[in-house]
């Protein structure tokens, strides 16, 4: 079967953190994340540049924290950190499947992920790397 011609050169894929749970009640389901990575790999093989924004609802839901008396800003920060955790898990799964993934965050955690710098993100995309945005870059 011939490879389809993609309609777009570059896409932004939004993945729900809750989708990472699969059939589990929380956390990251290994089978689910592997399937997601296989889908992304198929798109990249078509020559499409892929950027991913990932949620954190499988780890922490900020609105729920605020509902039980937590400061809203604190709950939001915790949710942003949950997106970083999911992004790291997704990048790890991608790298193990032969994709090159880079995680970029609006929160400065330089020892863990790269800071979001637009020209650098564009460079990675042009190099065929998958860029995963976390920590408030959504």
Percent of the chain whose predicted confidence (pLDDT) is above 90: 75
Task: Give 3-49 pLDDT, tens digit per residue.
Answer: 678 899 999 999 999 999 999 888 899 999 999 999 999 999 999 99
Cα–Cα distance between 45 and 35 in angstroms, integer? Answer: 15
* pTM for the full predicted model: 0.90
Residue found under tokens 């997704």: 90
104, 121 Cβ separation under 8 angstroms: yes
């Amino acid at each position: 079967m011939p490879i389809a011609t993609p309609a777009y050169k570059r896409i932004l894929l939004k993945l729900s953190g809750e989708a990472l749970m699969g059939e589990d009640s929380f956390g990251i389901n290994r089978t689910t994340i592997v399937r997601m990575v296989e889908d992304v790999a198929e798109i990249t093989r078509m020559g499409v540049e892929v950027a991913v924004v990932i949620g954190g609802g499988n780890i922490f839901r900020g609105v729920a924290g605020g509902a039980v008396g937590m400061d809203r800003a604190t709950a939001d920060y915790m949710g942003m950190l949950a997106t970083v955790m999911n992004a790291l898990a997704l990048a790890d799964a991608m790298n193990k499947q032969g994709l090159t993934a880079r995680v970029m965050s609006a929160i400065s955690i330089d020892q863990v992920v790269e800071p979001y710098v637009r020209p650098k993100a564009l460079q990675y995309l042009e190099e065929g790397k998958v860029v995963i945005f976390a920590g408030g870059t959504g």
